[in-house]
Structure 1
Amino acid sequence: MGFDDKMENAGQNASGKLKEGAGRATDNERLEAEGRNDQAGAKLKQAGEKIKDAFKS
Structure 2
Amino acid sequence: MTPKVRALRRLQGKYMGYVRRLKPAEKARVRVVREKQGMQAAIRMAASLVARPS
* Length-normalised TM-score, structure 1: 0.40
Structure having the larger proportion of residues in helix: 1
Larger radius of gyration: 1
